[in-house]
């Protein structure tokens, strides 16, 4: 299996529900480094998994609606506890939608899976992987 990874970041505000989150139950900011890894069995005609620039643009397009937002006020996230794991799944699903809609051209049709990792600190991250 071949893969490429593109990286970006987003800055959000949110609060988490549940005593397990301690002070993070209050509104706070978070900056996530976001990595998206795209995998496919064989390389495309150009000898690549997909165009890195197009993949980076697709990731940025997914992050833009979340960047510099209070996630507690986002209608699409109403009722969700916006943990790092939940956000990783949201980014992966939205990126999958873009790829299935043709964001990577012909190469996108051969992508078999996406893994999205959100790094919330230098020592902690969460990830979500899904098939296409």
pLDDT of residue 80: 95
The residues near 128 (Cβ < 8 Å, ≥ 6 apart) are 85, 88, 89, 91, 92, 115, 116
Mean pLDDT of 65-71: 97
Give the pLDDT confidence score for residue 95 in this predicted structure. Answer: 98
The reported pLDDT for the residue numbered 75 is 92
Name the pTM for this structure.
0.95
Sorted by where each begins, the domain ranges of the chain are: 2-131
| Alpha-carbon span 125 to 32, nearest angstrom | 9
**Shortest CA distance to 44 belongs to which of 101, 2, 102, 97?**
2
CATH architecture of 2-131: 2-Layer Sandwich (3.30)
State the average pLDDT over residues 8-16. Answer: 98
In whole angstroms, give the CA distance from residue 118 to residue 126.
6
Mean pLDDT of the chain: 96
Closest CA to 33 of 6, 55, 53: 6
Whole-number pLDDT of residue 62: 98
Give pLDDT tens digits for 36-60.
999 999 999 999 999 999 999 999 9
């Amino acid at each position: 299996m071949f893969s490429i990874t593109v990286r970006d970041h987003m800055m959000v505000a949110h609060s988490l529900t549940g005593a397990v989150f301690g002070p993070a139950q209050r509104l706070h900011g978070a900056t996530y480094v976001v990595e998206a890894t795209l995998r496919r069995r064989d390389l495309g005609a150009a000898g690549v998994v997909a165009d890195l620039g197009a993949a980076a643009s697709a990731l940025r397009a997914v992050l833009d609606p979340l960047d510099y937002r209070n996630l507690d006020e986002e209608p699409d996230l109403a009722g969700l506890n916006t943990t790092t794991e939940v956000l990783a799944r949201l980014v992966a699903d939205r990126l999958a939608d873009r790829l299935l809609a043709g964001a990577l051209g012909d190469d996108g049709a051969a992508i078999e899976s996406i893994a999205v990792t959100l790094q919330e600190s230098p020592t902690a991250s969460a990830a979500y992987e899904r098939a296409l």
